[in-house]
Amino acid sequence: MRIGTVLELWRHPVKSMGGESMAAAEIGLTGLAGDRHWAVLDGESGEIRGAKRWPELLRCRARYAGDGPVTTADYDSRVQAVILSGPDGQELRSDAPDRDAVLTSWLGRAVTLSPRHDARDLAHYRLAQPRTAESIAAEMALQDGEEFPDYSDLDAATMGALADSATPPGSYVDAFPLHLISRNALAWFAGRSGLDTDPRRFRANLVVDVEGAGNVPAEDEWSGYRLAIGEAVLRIDSRTVRCAMPGRPQPHFGLADQPSMTGALVRQANRRLGVNVLVERPGYIRVGDPIHRLD
């Protein structure tokens, strides 16, 4: 049964930096080819960092340097070079000898840029300090009187991989291989909150239209659905618990600071918008592809 259409495809070459749109993308078991193949590491602890703790990362943008096709097999030295754009528009290649020094000056703290490592390199992904309720609350910008987010409906294996790792070993995504959001849900939330809900704020890989849904977050009911899109088969795991990132500024895209965004997400959507996605069968997906529900 056809339920929708792919409107946009996005990859983010560097974790928490602005990304690039695509007309077609290869999907592997670990996600979209080229998505979050690089990350910024804390220069002191060596820990993988993201914009939940370092929002200034969102003031930068990254694109691939065009040195060859980006595939889902790219790891370590095979990860393709990227071009970073700083807050002032200055550009920097990931293979430049002064790369880390320039990136440090952009972010105002000692950092290194790293390609993702093989999943067997557990030390690379390990947290410098265990997560605590306090650290999670700070990353999520927990609101006054808000209960701690409930993660019990999320895939147990995925969440288990994050027990002592900053990201799932072998990947720089926060948790799931793919993130999907509908233009219907974005329109619904804009109508209820009065805020700008440009899809780039929510950093989804797939932006879709749900046929016949109008301005309703129809994907809220998709948990457990298996979707055939292009050559790939995807499984919807759960609704996405939002952090504070959607409200933060992204100057490269002209997205202004919206400090009321997190509170609005809590009040209007119980902090959930969009869905987390697992990959059952890899393959290519293209903008315009129909979305069929398999069961």
Please give the domain boundaries of the chain with CATH numbers for all domains: 2-293 (2.40.33.20)
pLDDT of residue 77: 58
Express each pLDDT in 99-108 by its tens digit: 999 999 999 9
pLDDT of residue 227: 98
> pLDDT category, 158, cuts 50, 70, 90?
confident
Q: Which helix (H) or strand (E) holds 186?
A: helix 183-193
> pLDDT category, 78, cuts 50, 70, 90?
confident
- Beta pairing, strands 283-286 & 24-28: antiparallel
Express each pLDDT in 191-204 by its tens digit: 999 999 999 999 99
| Alpha carbons 291 and 268: distance in angstroms, whole number | 27
> pLDDT category, 52, cuts 50, 70, 90?
very high
Q: Quick check: 215 pLDDT over 80?
A: yes
Mean pLDDT value of segment 41-65: 95
CB atoms within 10 A of CB 37: 26
pLDDT of residue 134: 82
Mean pLDDT value of segment 254-266: 96
| Alpha carbons 107 and 99: distance in angstroms, whole number | 12
Q: What are 87-92's contacts with CB under 8 Å, separation 24+? A: 87/56, 87/59, 87/60, 87/251
Q: What value does the mean pLDDT of the chain take?
A: 93
pTM, 2 dp: 0.94
Express each pLDDT in 182-192 by its tens digit: 999 999 999 99
118: which strand partners?
A: none
Angle, to 10 degrees, between the axis of helix 183-193 and the axis of helix 261-269?
100
pLDDT of residue 76: 56
pLDDT of residue 29: 92
Contact by Cβ (8 Å): 205, 174: no
236: which strand partners?
A: 277
Q: What does the angle CA 244 – CA 236 – CA 19 come to, to the nearest 5 degrees?
A: 45
CA neighbor of 262 nearest in space, from 248, 275, 252, 250: 248
Q: Quick check: 71 pLDDT over 80?
A: no
Q: Quick check: 131 pLDDT over 90?
A: no
Q: Quick check: 116 pLDDT over 70?
A: yes
Q: Is 22 helix (H, G, I), strand (E, B) or coil?
A: strand
